[in-house]
Amino acid sequence: MNAVLSKPWLRLAIGLVAPALLLIWWQWQASSGDVRSIAFAPLGSIGGAFLELVENGSLVSDMVSTLSRSLTGLVIGGALGIAVGVAMAIWRPLDRLLGPLLHAIRQVPLIGWLPLLGLWFGTGQGSELIVVSLSAFFPTMLNSYEGVAGVEQRYLDVGRIYGFGAFQRFRLILLPAAMPLILTGLTQALAFAWIASIATEILLGIGSGLGVTMQLAQTQQRIDIILVTVIATAILGFAVNYLFRQLRISLLRWQPASL
């Protein structure tokens, strides 16, 4: 058995079995002719839907929209999260003041803020951006806090011995030592921002974006469009995460390879 599995092309073939079976089952359901088959669009029409979306440019513009929404939210929430997390780790009074409040706010599922934000700001792009930024804020804040608070005392000792002032301590010890966790926080935040973008797009359904298209297609019973969009979401999400991971590795060259 192991000999079979060790050949890469054979592994690939085995891996394709399940998806192939799924597609066959799908096509069979689509052509079965009973009431439920309306939900199953024939495989051919999925290809057609793909071409349709590419031709009218909506697939690309959706991908760009969702991506830019996630990245904007990541930048806003991430920057704020790093600033707040680092500040709270350095100044104890701030920690005592803000910490419990943020902890309490964190308990509410972020998506639950949408109706509230909808009442406050209307159901426009603003509310969406706030939710996406919030979803990026918490992981970066927590990880930045842990990163700075967890800096080992022995490195701070070295700083004391060489007479480091507060600014030197921050620039040369705290920040670089905290960087791995800060980047971890940003990686998590990216994933959360991505999910939050899709979620708010589905829920509010305005503007453009992958989630919006999915929601619209659902009201029109266009399962073929939904499928194309879902696949695009998966691919785009994977690609962005992969690129981010590479970026992280290059920023942390000083770490031993195993980390």
**Closest to 110 in 3D by CA, of 136, 87, 140:** 136
Select 33 or 93, whichever has its Cβ closest to other proteins. Answer: 93
Residue 172: CB minimum distance to other proteins, A: 6
Select 21 or 64, whichever has its Cβ closest to other proteins. Answer: 21
Select 54 or 235, whichever has its Cβ closest to other proteins. Answer: 235
Per the CB < 8 A criterion, the answer to whether 64 and 126 are in contact is no
Residue 149: CB minimum distance to other proteins, A: 4
Residue 23: CB minimum distance to other proteins, A: 11
**Which residue has tokens 């309306």?**
38
Select 48 or 169, whichever has its Cβ closest to other proteins. Answer: 169
In angstroms, how far is the first alpha carbon of the chain from the final one?
32
Which of left, alpha, beta for 4 (phi over 0: left; psi -120 to 50: alpha)? alpha
Residue 198 CA, distance from chain mean position: 9
Can you read off the two tokens belonging to residue 131?
A: 């939710």
Residue 202: CB minimum distance to other proteins, A: 6
